[in-house]
Amino acid sequence: MVLLVATGLLFAGRSQAQVGVSVNIGNQPAWAPEGYDDAQYYYIPDMGMYYDVPAHQFLYQRNRRWVRTAVLPSSYQRYDLYRVHKVPINQRDAYRFYDRDRQQYDQYKGRYDQRPIRDSRDDKYSQNRDNWDHNRFRDRHDNNGRGRGHDRRDGRQ
């Protein structure tokens, strides 16, 4: 009887974890690096800003204050979100640790070593191909929207 209850709890725990991950996979932006399905924030060293995944908002400093916006500010639009390195961070209010993150992750500036979800060949990301921001940055790539130079898979923390 105890074995039966323990087995039931094990399967219940696994099914909850799978549901949580699959919900978050669909929440990740198409430009997010593949393999970080549970990221709450991305720190983007080239831009010195964060992206809040659940809120679908960028966070950047303006006049020493953190500003949230759903649209990438024009002063940052020269960056290609599909190419720049993104550091996944799972910490509440990650931007509060900006000085630490900047010091620790500035070494990733100028690195283009992550494949975005949009270009992933993994079936688990198929729902992201039509994700809420999938087409937003598409025009910066070749006409078929596949992007270029996103085949390296290393560079994870």
For the chain, domain boundaries: 2-140
- pLDDT reading at 12 higher than 50: no
CA gap 129, 62 in Å, rounded: 32
Q: Which range, of 40-54, 98-112, 116-130, 142-156, averages the lowest pLDDT? A: 142-156
Number of neighbours of residue 42 by Cβ within 10 angstroms: 25
Per-residue pLDDT reduced to its tens digit, 62-76:
999 999 999 999 999
**With the C-alpha atoms ordered 65, 112, 55, 157, is the resulting torsion angle positive or negative?**
negative
CA gap 141, 136 in Å, rounded: 11
> Which pTM does this prediction carry?
0.67
Per-residue pLDDT reduced to its tens digit, 73-131:
999 999 999 999 999 999 999 999 999 999 999 999 999 999 999 888 887 876 655 55
How is residue 74 written in tokens? 């024009």
